[in-house]
Structure 1
């Protein structure tokens, strides 16, 4: 049997690595203040970037940027005051997805991105319906025995330098993409994940919009 990257379904899929930065107001769900996405396809034995997107997002008045946001990411209230609205920023992202392509979103701790997409689904109805892959369970399968599976730990394991702007969405997307592609290389080399269906069983998360009541993991 061939490797994961020989699988026709894998090759037919565009993997969109996505990351949000958010603020979490008391009594409300997290509100996005930045989003970035990086689209990858596996073609002719290598990864090819086929698109990227990044935007600040102006939070609602009840959820202003906080001192924690500034300390964490460097984003200030001044940065966010003139940012696009959620409808503008997420609508622009949504229009990047085409009806004739097959997508999976990829995220580190994908539950966070799945929740933000669900809560913003009126602004990004296409993206909110795309299922996800989570790098954490995939890393647990491919590199067992790490002390934890935080992004910084995985970057250290693969000797990927921390970006200077760590915790900005575009920077985190870039390094998450590098972790994801290294995990796929491991899966190819070891043969432990043989096709897209198995990859989804290991690391898949159904989009909350399309999730059945029991919340079971989708299968292809």
Structure 2
């Protein structure tokens, strides 16, 4: 089962202010298949200095960047039918949905998984579950934290480490996720959906 790890950086504290996206698709064996990265020009060009200090992206860097609307079809094509994976997925999924909504974009529908929640379940008792800490704990290698593509690649590596061989067999993967991650109320994967009506699941 291929999967696509995703990470956003935002211009400010608004979930509509995506200013960079990184995507990394992995095979069930944990091999990096392909990547996608672009800076994004949010609808509102306000940058919070605190956010800039985290990711180093300034208004000058995105002034000629495409908007999410400009690259939407490329992003949908890249993701395809793959499930999405993110570290602290509620944040990234909200940024994805709300930034898409700011341009009235639709057509995305995908299961998603959170490596933060999964790591807490699979590897309890660690001192920190920050992506940088988990990368060090699992020997995933050094990377440029808060650079969207590097974060996505590291998240994808972490997902493979946490899920192991279950990724190679749908039945085993479903059983693993039912035990460790799936929605307790429904038993189904969590999903992100963008619709014309701007009503999201």
TM-score range normalised by the length of the shorter chain:
0.7 to 0.9
Residues 16, 95 of structure 2: 8 Å contact kept:
yes
Aligned to 1:4: none
Aligned to 1:134: 114
Residues 94, 124 of structure 1: 8 Å contact kept:
no
Aligned to 2:145: 166
Residues 1:203 and 2:192 aligned together:
no
Aligned to 2:64: 82
Residues in 2 aligned to 1:108 and 1:31: alpha-carbon distance in whole angstroms: 18
Q: Give how far 1:24 is off.
A: 3.1
TM-score by length of 2: 0.79
Question: Once superposed, what is the RMSD of the aligned Cα atoms?
Answer: 2.4
Matches within 5 A, 1:1-220: 13-25=1-13, 28-42=14-28, 46-61=29-44, 63-98=45-80, 102-119=81-98, 120=100, 122-123=104-105, 125-126=107-108, 129-163=109-143, 165-185=144-164, 195-201=172-178, 202-204=180-182, 206-209=190-193
Residues 155, 161 of structure 1: 8 Å contact kept:
yes
Q: How many residues align?
A: 182
Residues in 2 aligned to 1:79 and 1:124: alpha-carbon distance in whole angstroms: 27
Residues 114, 207 of structure 1: 8 Å contact kept:
no
TM-aligned CA distance change 1:179 to 1:29, over 3 Å? closer
Residues in 1 aligned to 2:192 and 2:31: alpha-carbon distance in whole angstroms: 28
Aligned to 1:8: none
Alignment deviations for residues 148-169 of structure 1 (CA, whole Å, 9 cap, x no partner): 3111221121133432x31010
Q: Which has the larger radius of gyration?
A: 1
Structure 2: runs of 5+ lacking an equivalent: 183-188
Q: Give how far 1:144 is off.
A: 1.0
Residues 118, 209 of structure 1: 8 Å contact kept:
yes
Q: Give how far 1:36 is off.
A: 0.9
TM-score by length of 1: 0.73
Structure 1: runs of 5+ lacking an equivalent: 1-12, 189-193, 216-220
